[in-house]
């Protein structure tokens, strides 16, 4: 699998990154630790070298499962984690990083990201200078190799880049959710900030497995995803109906088509979650899919009506 450079570093990411939000179990249903471990191992076998997690995913559970699954292969993979918005004070960042290192069974992180901007989810706002001082000190100590941000607006990204080097932005980005194209995508490309696109399959929607009458189990946060709401969902189903024959014609799955569209963008990697080994291996195959200009145009034509119906709020969920 080809690699892509992270920002202005010498770190090389796989274009398909395995995401492990679901591995933490919290906010998901039907997740099994043993299957999650096999999924990580299958991803490695398929050429995925990069894994994304966060302290808040199951309060460290995702990190623990990921660390156990990687085991002795630590020197062959890249681990990306995140500090949550309630831990952005100097001492809090240091402590959170140390917890993540312990959970993962490693002595360094390849990328450490601010998960949400200061003040998110009712957290006490902390000056970005204070958070960046902690992250810079961790980097100087060799405990992290690079610094990134997640869910930052373009203005917030520009502001923190004035304080210190930021190598990546992690926003939601898929055929159906394209807010990052309103300025951030071009700015990141021009300034060598890598986009790590999360929810590139629109939380499973673009796999085609959710029909018009789908109901999520109690406890599954995807029921709050705005793409599943009554004002958008019928339009989503219409788009899926047009995407399905495209995937069939190319002999690939709809998920692979969705992932291939994301990584066709220069400077963009796709963070794809997987519940089991089969899904992880299938996701990896998207890196081998080539889309022609006419296919990219057709994908834009099919998906644009849904993306344009979404309002200006870049947050995917009705929380």
Domains of the chain: 4-203+253-290 (3.20.20.100)
pLDDT at 226: 84
On the question of pLDDT at 310 being above 90, the answer is no
Q: How confident is the model at residue 113 (pLDDT cuts 50, 70, 90)?
A: very high
Q: How confident is the model at residue 319 (pLDDT cuts 50, 70, 90)?
A: low
Asked if 141 and 101 touch (Cβ cutoff 8 Å), the reply is no
CA distance 297 to 292: 9
In this prediction, residues 27-42 reach a mean pLDDT of 95
Query: Which tens digits make up the pLDDT trace of 240-265?
Result: 999 999 999 999 999 999 999 999 99
Q: Is 295 strand, coil or helix?
A: helix
Backbone angles phi and psi of 69, in degrees to 5: -70, -40
Query: Which tens digits make up the pLDDT trace of 44-67?
Result: 999 999 999 999 999 999 999 999
CA atoms lying within 13 Å on the CB side of residue 123: 18
Query: Which tens digits make up the pLDDT trace of 150-204?
Result: 999 999 999 999 999 999 999 999 999 999 999 999 999 999 999 999 999 998 8
CA distance 19 to 111: 14
First vs last Cα of the chain: how many Å apart? Answer: 37
Give counts: helices (H), strands (E), the chain: 10, 10
Q: How confident is the model at residue 216 (pLDDT cuts 50, 70, 90)?
A: confident
pLDDT at 35: 97
Q: How confident is the model at residue 219 (pLDDT cuts 50, 70, 90)?
A: confident
Q: How confident is the model at residue 222 (pLDDT cuts 50, 70, 90)?
A: confident
Which residue is it, tokens 């081998």? 288
What residues are labeled active site? 57
Q: What share of the chain is helix, strand, coil (3-state, %, to 5)?
A: 45, 15, 40
Question: What single-letter DSSP state applies at residue 120?
Answer: G
CA distance 297 to 293: 6
pLDDT at 204: 87
On the question of pLDDT at 74 being above 90, the answer is yes
Question: What single-letter DSSP state applies at residue 198?
Answer: E
On the question of pLDDT at 211 being above 80, the answer is no
Query: Which tens digits make up the pLDDT trace of 264-301?
Result: 999 999 999 999 999 999 999 999 999 999 999 999 99
């Amino acid at each position: 699998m080809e690699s892509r450079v992270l920002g202005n570093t010498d770190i090389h990411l796989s274009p398909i990154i395995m995401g492990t939000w679901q591995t933490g179990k919290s906010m998901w249903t039907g997740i099994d630790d043993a299957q999650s471990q096999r999924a990580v191992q299958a991803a490695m076998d398929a050429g995925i070298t990069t894994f994304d997690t966060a302290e808040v995913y199951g309060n460290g559970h995702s990190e623990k499962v990921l660390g156990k699954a990687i085991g002795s292969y630590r020197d062959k993979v890249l681990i990306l984690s995140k500090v949550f918005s309630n831990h952005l004070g100097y001492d809090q960042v240091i402590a959170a990083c140390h917890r993540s290192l312990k959970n993962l069974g490693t002595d360094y992180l390849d990328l450490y990201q601010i998960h949400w901007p200061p003040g998110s989810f009712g957290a006490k706002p902390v000056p970005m200078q204070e958070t960046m001082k902690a992250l810079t000190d961790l980097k100087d100590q060799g405990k992290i190799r690079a610094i990134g941000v997640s869910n930052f607006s373009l203005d917030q990204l520009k502001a923190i880049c004035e304080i210190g080097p930021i190598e990546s932005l992690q926003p939601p980005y898929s055929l159906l959710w394209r807010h990052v194209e309103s300025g951030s995508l071009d700015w990141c490309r021009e300034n060598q900030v890598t986009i790590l696109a999360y929810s590139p399959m629109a939380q499973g929607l673009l796999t085609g497995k959710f029909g018009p009458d789908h109901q999520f189990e109690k406890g599954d946060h995807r029921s709050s995803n705005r793409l599943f709401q009554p004002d958008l969902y019928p339009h989503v189903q219409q788009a899926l109906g047009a995407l399905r024959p495209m995937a069939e014609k190319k002999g690939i799955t709809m998920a692979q088509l969705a992932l291939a569209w994301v990584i066709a963008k220069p400077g963009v990697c796709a963070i794809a979650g997987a519940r089991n080994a089969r899904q992880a291996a299938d996701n990896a195959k998207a890196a081998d899919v080539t889309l022609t200009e006419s296919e990219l145009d057709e994908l834009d034509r099919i998906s644009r009506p849904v993306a344009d119906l979404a309002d200006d709020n870049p947050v995917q969920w009705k929380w």
